[in-house]
Amino acid sequence: MSVDPELASVNGRKRSQRPQASHREVADELRTRIRSGVLRPGQRMPTQAKLADEFGVERGAVRQALRILQSEHLLTNVSKGAPATVAQGPGPARRATGSEAPPQPTMVALTPRIEAAFAASHVRIDALCLTSVSLNLALGGPLRLIHAGRLEPAKIDVRVLLPSRNIDLAFPTAVADDASAEDAVHDRWLAQRNAQGQVLRHNLLALRATHGIDVHVTFRALPFTPPVKLYLLNGAEALFAYYTLGRHEREIDHEHLQTYDAEGTQSMLFAFEQGAGLRDTTFVDQSTRWFDALWETISSELHLTS
């Protein structure tokens, strides 16, 4: 007689009596079961309540674990109400995580990681970047899920480090040695930085009124142009990319200008995870210390005004 997966633990064993697991440990165990064939492609998972009972964790930890596996394309149909399904035929490259994961363009890699981070009860995001365009785009997914009732964080803390308006930017910069062209490029960057920051802050703070979420969004200014971008998610992940410069033509004030600039949304993002080995854990720890040091020492108050 077949056993309904809704009525059994995920691997057919009785609920574990081990100490409460973290969401990453839950994700690691379920990932192992998927890769080993214990959980088969197309098989429906137990409910989040059943998984929470098996692992001895809160449902929020289960949701976060499932969203991690969904971002790795190992699960589909992850939602608050219905059980998830094991993805059909996930390929080896899509299974890799941490130091084994290949780098991907920022907007391919960042969006699912931000969405998975929002499954936590307390969401913490630190970002160091040039304009916050990529972060704004990546936040669209979890914001939609919150409004749909599929994600329910209780608290959101976001800190963003951006270049100061008062510095000579290393990039973007005009190719020509022309003061008016340089001013136009700087003004365009500043307008983008301020507009993106204002949208990010507005969209997140609106969750206070619409969902009663405790939200804090803070910006600080750096006295230099960052040659890299860094995202720290819930103290457990570090996503890192280089700004690779190229020559681009930009239309600014109806004039076509040659600039040296970087396409931040296309920068290749490297992922590092706590617990994925000494290399990854050390990188996350050191990146967190580096960000905190910049935040607490040489950065200054940033006003998102023209």
Q: Mind listing the pLDDT tens digit for each residue in 218-252? A: 999 999 999 999 999 999 999 999 999 999 988 88
pTM above 0.85, yes or no: no
Mean pLDDT of the chain: 86
> pLDDT confidence of 265, banded at 50, 70, 90?
confident
pLDDT for res 20:
63
Query: How high is the pLDDT of residue 93?
Result: 36
Both ends of the chain: CA-CA distance in Å? 70
What six digits make up the tokens of 169? 């930017």
Contact yes or no for 56/26 (Cβ under 8 A): no
What's the token pair of residue 2?
Answer: 């077949």
Q: What is the mean pLDDT of residues 264-273?
A: 91
Q: Is 161 or 275 the better-scoring residue by pLDDT?
A: 161
Express each pLDDT in 169-201 by its tens digit.
999 999 998 899 899 999 999 999 999 999 999
**How confident is the model at residue 295, as a pLDDT?**
98
Residue 99, pLDDT > 60, answer no
**Per-residue model confidence (pLDDT) at position 22:** 80
Q: Is the pLDDT of residue 131 over 90?
A: yes
Mean pLDDT of 272-279: 88
C-alpha span between 81 and 274 (Å, rounded): 29
d(CA 164, CA 223): 6
**Cα distances (angstroms) measured from residue 164 to each of 160, 216, 227, 254, 297:** 12, 21, 14, 26, 14
